[in-house]
Amino acid sequence: MRRFFGYAAPEQAQPSTNQKHNSDYSTSHHYADDSKPDHILVKHGKQFLRVDFSSPGDIAKGHASVGDVRATTARFLGLGKDDITLVFGGKKLLNDKEKLVNLKIASGARMLAIVSKHWKANEAVGVPRQQAKKAAVPTDPIERIDNVLNAAAAELVPKIDQFVTSPPADASDKSDEHRILSELILQRLFALDEIDTHENPEARRRRKEAVNKLHEYQAQVDGAMSTADTSETSLSSC
């Protein structure tokens, strides 16, 4: 039986030793030494988890799948496989059988791990895992859309205002904050995308409004970033 991820045991992950990763989490460019085992960096919160394969070239040879990375990441975080979603290049990786090489994912690539909002909410109040899966969730699509948008406003607006009015002075910190905010917005867009509005015109209209609002948030974040970049360029040319 083939051994995955790690040198001593199958499917292992560990926190990355690198403090900063300037490349976007969706990049497919690799930084691997051909003599070292392949690896994938999975971003969770503010940390990167390094998922190691057993030997060099495993990804290119088609020995690694989305499911391998997802299962390893979930186990490291102490979650069930179904509690996380992997994102690469702005797209959710939903087919566990898909080979990484077929998705143009190379060793050293960055992915984003999104933990189920339902699990995080129950975890915060100490609800046991078995009970959490039985907890009731809204079934009305309009109510679900409103919940996503209200939660986004409560979480994002203060952070965006802070970023727009008082962005970090350090360029690297500013870039990191921009990426974090963009990821939070992306998570909310994914949450809206998962809501079924089939044969419900009002729900479709509300979801479109919610998506547009999130796009406005992203525009504010991008605008603050570009304004800061322009200002720095002007100062450096003086």
Domain range list for the chain: 13-120, 141-233
Nearest one of 19, 30, 40 to 112, comparing CA atoms: 40
DSSP string, 8-45: SSSS-EEE-S-S---S-TT-------TTS--EEEEEET
φ, ψ at 60 (rounded to 5°): -60, -30
Per-residue pLDDT, 11: 40
| Residue carrying the six token digits 């986004």 | 152
Nearest one of 145, 127, 124 to 136, comparing CA atoms: 127
pLDDT at 33 over 70: no
Q: Give 180's contacts (C-beta < 8 A, 6+ positions apart).
A: 46
| Residue carrying the six token digits 């030494």 | 33
Taking a C-beta distance cutoff of 8 angstroms, is the pair 116, 133 a contact? no
Taking a C-beta distance cutoff of 8 angstroms, is the pair 218, 179 a contact? no
Domains 13-120 and 141-233 alike in fold: no
pLDDT at 75 over 50: yes
Local structure of 152: helix, strand or coil: helix
β-strands 13-15, 47-52 pairing = antiparallel
Which position has the higher pLDDT, 28 or 148? 148
β-strands 47-52, 84-88 pairing = unpaired
Least confident piece of the model among 15-29, 179-193, 203-217: 15-29
What is the topology classification, in CATH, of domain 13-120?
A: Ubiquitin-like (UB roll) (3.10.20)
- Mean pLDDT score of the chain: 75
DSSP state of 80: -
Amino acid at 177: E
Local structure of 228: helix, strand or coil: helix
Is this model's pTM higher than 0.75 or not? no
pLDDT at 102 over 50: yes
Confidence band for 96, pLDDT divided at 50, 70 and 90: very high
Q: Give 47's contacts (C-beta < 8 A, 6+ positions apart).
A: 15, 16
Neighbours of 76 (CB within 10 A): 20
Per-residue pLDDT, 35: 64
Residues 217, 222: Cα–Cα separation, whole Å:
9
Neighbours of 27 (CB within 10 A): 17
Please say whether the structural domain 141-233 has been given the CATH code 1.10.10.10: no
Report pLDDT digits (tens) over 156-206. 899 999 999 988 888 888 888 888 888 889 888 888 888 888 889 999 999
pLDDT at 110 over 70: yes
